[in-house]
Amino acid sequence: MVYTANNQRYETMKYRRCGRSGLKLPAISLGLWHNFGGVDVYENGRAMLRRAFDLGITHFDLANNYGPPPGSAEEMFGKVLQSDFAPYRDEIIISSKAGYYMWPGPYGEWGSKKYLISSLDQSLKRMKLDYVDIFYHHRPDPDTPLEETMGALDLAVRQGKALYVGLSNYNAEQTKAAVRILKELGTPCLIHQPRYSMLDRWVENGLLDALEEDGVGSIAFSPLAKGMLTDRYLHGIPKDSRAGGQSVFLKPEDLTDEVMNKIRSLTVVAEKRGQKLSQMALAWVLRGGGVTSALIGASRISQIEDAVNALNGLEFSADELAAIEAILKA
Model pLDDT, residue 256: 84
Q: Show me where the domains of the chain are located.
A: 15-329
Q: What is the pLDDT of residues 155-172, one digit of tens each?
A: 999 999 999 999 999 999
User: How does pLDDT run across 286-312, given as a tens digit for each residue?
Assistant: 999 999 999 999 999 999 999 999 999
Which CATH number, 1.10.510.10, 3.90.660.10, 2.60.40.420, 3.20.20.100, labels domain 15-329? 3.20.20.100
Tell me what percent of the residues of the chain surpass a pLDDT of 70: 95
How confident is the model at residue 242, as a pLDDT? 55
pLDDT at 236 over 80: no
CB 77 within 8 A of CB 116: no
Residue pLDDT, tens place only, 238-282? 555 555 455 556 677 777 889 999 999 999 999 999 999 999 999
Percent of all residues in the chain with a pLDDT value above 90, rounded to a whole number? 90
For residue 237, pLDDT over 90 is answered with: no
Q: SS3 of 238, please?
A: coil
- Average pLDDT estimate for 60-67: 98
Of 262, 258, 251, 306, residue with least CA distance to 283: 306
pLDDT at 244 (0 to 100): 46
DSSP one-letter string for 278-307: HHHHHHHHHGGG-SSEEEE--SSHHHHHHH
Contacts of 190 (CB under 8 A, 6+ apart): 18, 19, 21, 23, 134, 164, 165, 166, 216, 217
Mean pLDDT for all residues in the chain = 95
